[in-house]
Amino acid sequence: GIQVEQSPPDLILQEGANSTLRCNFSDSVNNLQWFHQNPWGQLINLFYIPSGTKQNGRLSATTVATERYSLLYISSSQTTDSGVYFCAVGPGYSTLTFGKGTMLLVSP
Amino acid sequence: DAGVIQSPRHEVTEMGQEVTLRCKPISGHDYLFWYRQTMMRGLELLIYFNNNVPIDDSGMPEDRFSAKMPNASFSTLKIQPSEPRDSAVYFCASRTGAGVSEAFFGQGTRLTVV
C-alpha cells in the first residue's frame, strides 16, 4: 500500500515562531488532508488539499502532487497550536492512509 | 450539523466482555469509516461502508471484531470477546459520496480492556 512519511517527528517552538511540516507519499493520490489532533484527542480538519495551495489564517498548505509531497506552514505559532499534526492520503477516492504525525509543542 | 457523533466517549471493560461502539455519521454522507489509533500502529483503517454496505473489512484484526450499518444514520463496531490488546481509541468518520471529498471524524471512543 501507499507509504506516508512525515517530518520532523517532533518539534518544539517558542510562541511566535514559524514552522514547516512535511508529508511525503509514495504514490499518486487523489485525496490529501491535514489534521490537528489536539491534547484532548480530537481530530480537527485543517485542509483538504490534494493539489495546490490554501490558506486559513496563520496556517497554509501546499501540495505538489507531481512530486508527491505536501507542506503545512504554521506562522506566529501559539500554545494552542500544540498537538499532533497528521497528513492522510488516499490513492483512490475512498479511504485515507495516515502518516505517523508530527508532534508539536509550542511553549510560552 | 452536529458532526459525527460517537458513543460512549470512554469505555472500561473487563477482558472477555462484549463491547459495542456506536457512531452516527453526518446526515447525507454516503461513506462511513472505522479507524483505530494506538501508540504502536498509529491510525489504521478497520472497515468502511458505502451506502450502508461494507466495502473493505481487510483491516479488521480478528474475527472477534464485527461492524454493521443497519441504516444510513447508524453504525456499530462490536468486539467479542474483548482483550487487553484491544485497548485503543476508536474513531468513526464520514464523508459524502460526491467525487473526492474530505472526511470528518468523530471525537472517538477511548476503550480500555482490563
The pLDDT-based confidence of B1 (bands split at 50, 70, 90) is low
Q: What is the pLDDT of residues B87-114, one digit of tens each?
A: 999 999 999 876 668 999 999 999 999 9
Over pLDDT 70: what percentage of chain B? 96
Q: Is the pLDDT of residue B53 over 80?
A: yes
Angle formed at CA A27 by CA B41 and CA A99, multiple of 5 degrees: 25
Type and span of the H or E element at B6? strand B5-7
Q: Are A101 and B42 in contact (CB under 8 A)?
A: yes
How close A97 comes to chain B (CA, Å)?
A: 7
On chain A, the residues whose CB falls within 8 A of the CB of B91 are 43
Check whether A93 has a pLDDT greater than 80: no
Could you tell me what percent of chain A has a pLDDT over 70?
Answer: 99
Q: Which of B33, B89, B108 sits opposite A95 (nearest CB)?
A: B33
pLDDT tens digit string along A16-64?
A: 999 999 999 999 998 999 999 999 999 999 999 999 999 999 999 999 9
- Looking at every residue in chain A, the average pLDDT score rounds to 95
Query: pLDDT digit string (tens) for B25-35?
Result: 999 999 999 99
Averaged pLDDT for residues A86-106: 92
Amino acid letter, A68: R
C-alpha cell at A10: 517532533
Shortest CA distance to B21 belongs to which of B7, B41, B34? Answer: B7
Share of chain B above pLDDT 90, in %: 90
